[in-house]
Amino acid sequence: MRGDPGPGLADRRPDATPRPGAARRPGAIRRLAGLGGLLAAEWRAYRLLVRVAFREAAQYRTSLALRSLTEAVATVLDLATIGILFAHLPALAGFSLAEVAFLYGTSALAFAVAEAFVGPVDRLGWHIRDGRFDVVLIRPVGVLVQTATMAFAPQRVARVAQPAVVVVVSAVALPVQWGLDRIALASGMIVCGALIAASAFVATAAVLFVAPDATVAVSASTQGSALAARYPMTVYGHHLALLLTIVLPIGFVSWLPALYILGRPDPLGLPTFLRFASPAVALLTAGAAAFAWRAGVRRYRGTGS
């Protein structure tokens, strides 16, 4: 891990001078290409900053190992909640233990991945309150990338372990034929679910630009969405289930694709194609989150401290 530090940020940014030929392209395509280049540069900066955080943490290996272990063990409490419920019930809203475990595992895995990689954005409120945010705006890296990495906690990645195990164990326990369709959908739903969860994190964190003290409320609402995604939607009654599925896209994290995998009819009577709509929904929510974040950055005013 401790090899050469690698090229710095400045070396990795795309050239300021446009490549020959770029100037001759029509406007829309050029703008799209510019956006693509920008995204690639941001992604490189993000990877670099995350690697720095890991290398920093690796200086104290025992400490990192211990912290990762405690994070991983702490997530077991979520699983214990489901275990305790099923100690008293044969089924929850008609869903068996293996089915609820699959719903929990896939959604918890998506949320854990999002939490590990963009979770620190909810520290934005602290940065604003302590007057550390002005500096972020003048650095040549995107605000989102910086906020997501400023308080990056490598041990958070350990939270992925337990839901991943639950997904595998429950997938084996489910009484379904694991064909190519189900495997593809299951892996796709985790990727799209992580993207939807990350978008939810970013969009709610954008509230902190207006209300920098609301860190607790922001983390409570992300916890709320993780909680909502964990159980069969029918638990929440017809209207709330529709709200959670259609208006807030929480149902697309695991509920709708999982219905296909479990081979169940939709208790809410939604059209079947929605079970495969998670990628489109993920793109839409990512767009909405980007919009909310940009609106937040534009509204930002220093606290003067």
Partner 1 sequence: MRTGAHQAGYGRRDAAWPGRVAAAAPFPGGYVTAALLPEARSWWAVAAASARAQVAYRATVAASVLSNVTLTVLRGYLALAVWTARPGLAGYDSARAVTFVVLGQALTTTFAVFGGMIDVPWRVESGAIVVDLARPFGFLRWWLAREIGRAAVFGVSRAVPAGLVGAALFGVRPPGSAAAALGFAASLPLALLAGFGIRYLVALTAFWITDVRGALAVSSLALMFFSGAVLPLTIFPGTFGAVARALPFAAVVQVPMDIYLRPRGGAGIGIQLAFQAAWVAVLMAASHLATSRALRRLVVQGG
Residue 205 is given by DSSP the state H
Smallest gap from Cβ 141 to partner 1, in A, equals 23
Q: Would you put residue 23 in left (φ > 0), alpha (ψ -120 to 50) or beta?
A: alpha
Per-residue exposure over 230-265, b if at least 16 CB sit within 10 Å of its own CB, e if not: bbbbbebeeeebbbbbeebbbbbbbbbbbbbbbeee
Indicate the length of the chain as a whole number.
305
Binding site for partner 1 (CB under 8 A): 67, 70-71, 74, 77, 80-81, 84-85, 87-89, 91-93, 126, 129-130, 151, 153, 155, 207, 210-214, 216-221, 223-224, 227-228, 231, 235-237, 240, 303-305
The label of the residue with tokens 């710095």 reads: 8
Residue number, 25 or 234, with CB nearest to partner 1: 234
Question: What whole-number distance in Å separates Cα of residue 100 and Cα of residue 134?
Answer: 45
DSSP string, 32-97: HHHHHHHHHHHHHHHHHHHHHHHHHHHTTHHHHHHHHHHHHHHTHHHHHHHHHHHHH-S-BTTB-H
Least Cβ distance, residue 173 to partner 1 (angstroms): 21
Which letter, b or e, does each residue of 78-90 get, where b requires 16 or more Cβ atoms within 10 Å of its Cβ? bbeebeeeeeeee
Q: Work out how close the CB of 51 gets to partner 1 at its nearest, in angstroms, rounded to a whole number.
A: 19
Nearer to partner 1, 14 or 224 (CB): 224
Q: Which residues, in sequence order, are bridge partners of residue 95?
A: 92
Least distance (Å) between residue 291 CB and partner 1? 19
> Closest CB to partner 1 among 95 and 182?
95
Q: Which is nearer to partner 1, 22 or 216 (CB)?
A: 216
Nearer to partner 1, 91 or 183 (CB): 91
Closest separation in Å from C-beta 213 to partner 1: 4
Output the smallest distance, CB 256 to partner 1, in A.
18
Residue placing its CB nearer to partner 1 in the complex, 142 or 201: 201
In whole angstroms, how close is the CB of 66 to partner 1 at the nearest point?
8
Q: Which of 103, 146, 151, 131 is nearest to 250 (CA)?
A: 103
Give the number of other CB atoms < 10 A from CB of residue 138.
Answer: 6
Torsions phi, psi for 95 (to 5 deg): -105, 135
Indicate the residue among 38 and 240 with the shorter CB distance to partner 1.
240
